[in-house]
Amino acid sequence: MIACTLSNLELRSIIESAFLPLRCNCTVLDDTMTVEVIDPATEHVELLVTGIALDRLDTSRALCELISELHAELNNSRHTHRHALAS
């Protein structure tokens, strides 16, 4: 459980739903989390981030910041991928 009193299940649910309609899988092992975002149409892994420290998520603001950072990385990854395909 993280310091802001969310269980790992609640934490996973919040993060996974933040990426709908994409499929997001969160895995928690010990005190770290892995987030994988997948395009359900192509099954292509759009984003994979490992080693997210759960103790970093000690407030709702920290959780929102993490989700924002993940969305920014996803957008950057998609932009880079599209640019590479266009070249």
Structural domain spans, the chain: 8-86
The backbone torsions φ and ψ at residue 39, rounded to the nearest 5 degrees and listed phi first, read -75, 115
Find the distance separating the first CA and the last CA of the chain, reported in whole Å: 46
CB atoms closer than 10 angstroms to residue 43:
8
pTM of the model: 0.83
Q: How does residue 86 score in pLDDT terms, banded at 50, 70 and 90?
A: low
Q: How many residues does the chain have?
A: 87
List Cβ neighbours of 68 (8 Å cut-off, separation of 6 or more).
none
> In the chain, what is the greatest distance between 2 CA atoms, to the nearest angstrom?
47
Q: How does residue 32 score in pLDDT terms, banded at 50, 70 and 90?
A: very high
More confident residue, 63 or 79: 63
